[in-house]
Chain A
Amino acid sequence: MSAVTPLQNGDTVLLPERIADLTGLGEFGVAGELLAAFLGAFVIANLMMAMTGVAGPWAKRKITAAFTDRIAVNHLGPAGIFIIVADAVRLLSKENIIPENADRPAYDLAPIVIAGSALLGFAVIPMGSGIHLADPEVGLVFVFAVAGIASIGLVMAGYASGNKYSMLGGLRAVAQNVAYEIPLVVTGMSVVLFAGSLQMGTIVEAQAQPLVDLGVVSIPSWYALVNPFAFVLFLIANFAEVGRNPFDMPEAPAELIAGYQTEYSSVYFVLVYLGEFLHIFLGGAIIATIFLGGPAGPGPAELGIVWFLLKIWAVFLLTQWLRSAIPRVRIDQLIEIGWKGLLVLSFANLALTAAIVGVIA
């Protein structure tokens, strides 16, 4: 692929190509393209990590405080936002304590796998305003696949820590991910039936058609509106996938101390923590892309990234809202809901969607 190849998907220009165009790197052949791709990845990774950095130490405190009638951080900077700096210094300057009977390479790799797998998923997400790293034809499958790698990271962390609580947390994580990955993917497939493509760009474009035109306002055919049932199923499965209430079993501090991350400290802890938040955001990004029209929203197309981030934050807010109000289910109930409830419902949804699509076609 080079900057001069005919554009796929209408007018979408991928980020590396833009960078290549802007900097003239495209003229240096493959090496230049590679560098441009790296730069693009660098931009997106940093954008996401910065957002996670804000969400972790600051927004979460603020949101939780609002739900519990408290004030939360407000001393450092406007609305206490510079607490992020303080937190970063605090966490990074701590001693990295490694348990004596930790299984070394696995113990060290797990945080990287957890954080990396989530970052990888953002590669194929169209974020609007031209921020789109790659758009392979199997985009949706790719994003599910890399998000699934996190399970390996969780098991590695759980097993390699040499702690029984970590072990239980890791096992819970994998049982939960296996149980909920299938409904998640199957529900995602119902969207593919509508869009007729696995390519993220195409899925977003398909949602731009108006569903109902009321003259003044036209409601776009976001799949959340077209098929709310699938949307709800996907949301629920997603909470289980990212391990948040009511499905935060892998950590469950009251039961397992902190699950798989019990033994992690300092930099490793930061990575695990980042990874968790990245997963929430990746979940939000997938939901936004395949159900909420991606970067679509009123106003000029340049505002796409704003709308996209807003949608991600809405999903994040929802997870925090649930945390304040909903108890966690028990591990056996969780598995039961997954295999007996969601799996069946997601297949029903798939069949239903197939029938509808068939009738329309």
Chain B
Amino acid sequence: MIGLLKSMATTMKHALSGSTFTVEYPETAPDVSPRFRGVHKFSQERCIWCRQCENVCPNDTIQIVMDDQRNGEQYNLHIGQCIYCRLCEEVCPVDAILLTQNFEFTADTKHEFVYNKEQLKAVPWYKDIDPLESREPDRGAWIGEGEGEVDYQ
């Protein structure tokens, strides 16, 4: 009986404290860690079309089309199929592909999740967080230092 009363007292304590743990999304945007992996952003200016991201991708999410001169023509990425493992960012020698913190994306059909390079360029930063900056201290071990300003449009 004491145990029962203790249980009841515990929940009543929570009810009376009035504090809530949940937040009202989307009015209150959740805090996202700087390392969070969301939708990709692509920079055609930086890309050297080495196809390493296409090769490393575990489930063939990235598709690259080049002409016979090895000039890049298409860079397609299925953000609905992607498992957000960040391996593409990790192997990219020139930081041409980055995972932003942006996790909010919707579409009516799954085919609309196939982003071409123009759409990938247009992916906005989440709350203006540039992941390149927040990842800076750790990136040395992985990727050579990028040079100069990075322009992702």
Interface residues of A (CB under 8 A from B): 63, 65-71, 74, 321-322, 324-326
For B83-97 the 0/1 string (1 means CB < 8 A from A) is 000000000000000
- Contact between A68 and B14 (Cβ–Cβ < 8 Å)? yes
Q: Taking the complex as formed, is B33 at the interface, i.e. its CB lies under 8 A from any CB of chain A?
A: no
Q: Which partner residue on chain B sits nearest A322 by CB separation? A: B8
Tell me which of A66, A71, A74, A326 contacts B15 (CB under 8 A).
Answer: A66
Taking a contact as CB atoms under 8 Å apart, the answer to whether A321 and B22 are in contact is no
Please pick, from A63, A71, A322, A324, the residue contacting B20 in the complex, using a CB distance under 8 A. A71
Are A321 and B19 neighbours in the complex by a CB distance under 8 Å? Answer: no
Instruction: Flag whether B2 is at the interface (Cβ < 8 A).
Output: no
Min CB–CB distance B112 → chain A (angstroms): 28
The residues of B that contact A68 with a CB separation of less than 8 Å are 14
**Nearest Cβ distance between residue B81 and chain A, in whole angstroms?**
33
Is there a chain A Cβ closer than 8 Å to B11's Cβ?
Answer: yes
Contacts of B22 in A (CB 8 A): 69-71
A209-B7 Cα distance, complex, nearest whole Å: 37
Say whether B20 contacts A326, CB under 8 Å. Answer: no
Instruction: Compute how far the CA of A70 lies from the CA of B21 in the bound complex, rounded to whole angstroms.
Output: 6
The digit string for B1-29, where 1 denotes a CB below 8 A from any CB of A, is 00010011011101100111110100000
User: Once the chains are docked, how many angstroms separate the CA of A178 from the CA of B58?
Assistant: 61
On whether the beta carbons of A67 and B15 are closer than 8 Å, the reply is: yes
Q: Which of B7, B14, B21 contacts A326 (CB 8 A)?
A: B7
CB-nearest residue of chain A to B22: A70
Distance of A69 Cα from B23 Cα, bound (Å): 11
Which chain A residue lies CB-closest to B18? Answer: A66
**B13 and chain A: residue at smallest CB distance:** A67
| One of A65, A70, A321 near B11 (C-beta < 8 A) | A321
Other 16 A-B pairs with CB < 8 A, given A66-B15, A66-B18? A65-B20, A67-B12, A69-B20, A69-B21, A70-B22, A74-B24, A321-B11, A321-B15, A322-B8, A324-B11, A325-B4, A325-B7, A325-B11, A325-B12, A326-B4, A326-B8
Q: Which B residues touch A321, using CB under 8 A?
A: 8, 11-12, 15
B interface, CB within 8 angstroms of A: 4, 7-8, 10-12, 14-15, 18-22, 24
**B14 near A69: Cβ-Cβ < 8 Å:** yes
User: Are A69's CB and B7's CB within 8 A?
Assistant: no
C-alpha spacing A322/B4, complex, angstroms: 9
Question: With A and B bound together, what is the CA distance between A98 and B21 in angstroms?
Answer: 40
Contacts of A324 in B (CB 8 A): 11, 15
Interchain CA distance A326-B12 in the complex, whole Å: 12
Scoring B14, B15, B18, B24 by chain A CB atoms within 10 A of each residue's CB, the highest score goes to B15
The chain A residue sitting closest to B15, CB to CB, is A66
Residues of B within 8 A of A326 (CB): 4, 7-8
Give min CB distance, B56 to chain A, whole Å.
42
Among A65, A66, A325, the residue within 8 A (CB) of B10 is A325
CB-defined A-B contacts under 8 Å, sample of 20: A63-B15, A66-B14, A67-B12, A67-B15, A68-B14, A69-B14, A69-B19, A70-B22, A71-B22, A71-B24, A74-B24, A321-B8, A321-B11, A321-B12, A321-B15, A325-B4, A325-B8, A325-B10, A325-B12, A326-B8
- How far does the alpha carbon of A74 sit from the alpha carbon of B25 in the complex, in Å? 12
Say how far A324's CB is from chain B's closest CB, in angstroms: 4
The 10 closest A-B pairs by CB, nearest first: A325-B7, A66-B15, A325-B11, A324-B11, A69-B21, A325-B8, A67-B15, A70-B22, A67-B11, A71-B20
Nearest CB in chain B to that of A74: its residue: B24
Closest Cβ neighbor of A323 among chain B residues: B11
**A325 to B6 alpha-carbon distance, docked (Å):** 9
Distance between A33 CB and nearest chain B CB, rounded to angstroms: 48
Residues of A within 8 A of B24 (CB): 71, 74
The reply to whether B20 and A67 contact each other, CB–CB distance below 8 Å, is no
Residues of B contacting A67 in the complex (Cβ-Cβ under 8 angstroms): 11-12, 14-15
Q: A69 — which chain B residues lie within 8 A by C-beta?
A: 14, 19-22
- The residue on B at minimum CB distance from A64 is B15
A71 to B7, CA, bound (A): 22
Task: Tell me how far the C-beta of B134 lies from the nearest C-beta in chain A, rounded to whole angstroms.
Answer: 30
Chain A residues, CB < 8 A from B19? 69
Please give me the residue from chain B that is nearest to A324 by CB atom.
Answer: B11
Q: How far is the CA of A321 from the CA of B8 in the complex (A)?
A: 7
Residue of A nearest to B19 (CB): A69
- Rounded to whole Å, the gap between the CB of A228 and the closest CB of chain B is 15
